[in-house]
Amino acid sequence: GDKRKFAAPGGQWRRFQDACSAAFDLARPYFEKRQSVQEETLSELERFIESGLEKAADESAASKDLTPIMRSARQAIRRLDELPPKARGAAAGKLRELMNRISERLDTAFEKVEAEKRRLIDQAKRLGDEPELKSAIDRAKGLQADWKKAGQGRRRTDQTLWKEFRAQIDPLFERLDGERKEREQAHQAVFKEIEGLCARAEALSELDDEELMDAGNRMQEISD
Residue pLDDT, tens place only, 73-121? 999 999 999 999 999 999 999 999 999 999 999 998 899 999 999 999 9
DSSP percent split of the chain into helix, strand, coil, nearest 5: 90, 0, 10
Task: Report the pLDDT value the prediction gives residue 2, as an integer from 0 to 100.
Answer: 62
Q: Is it the case that residue 44 has pLDDT exceeding 80?
A: yes
CA–CA gap between residue 23 and residue 7 (Å, rounded) = 23
Q: What is the pLDDT of residues 20-40, one digit of tens each?
A: 999 999 999 999 999 999 999
For residue 142, the model assigns a pLDDT of 95
- pLDDT reading at 64 higher than 80: yes
Give the type of residue at 21.
Answer: S
Q: Where are the alpha helices (DSSP H) in the chain?
A: 3-6, 10-57, 63-77, 88-125, 133-150, 155-205, 209-213, 216-223
Contact 124, 169 (CB under 8 A): yes
pLDDT tens column, 177-224: 888 888 888 899 899 999 988 988 888 878 877 777 777 778 788 888
Model confidence at 168: pLDDT above 60: yes
Read off the amino acid at residue 80: L
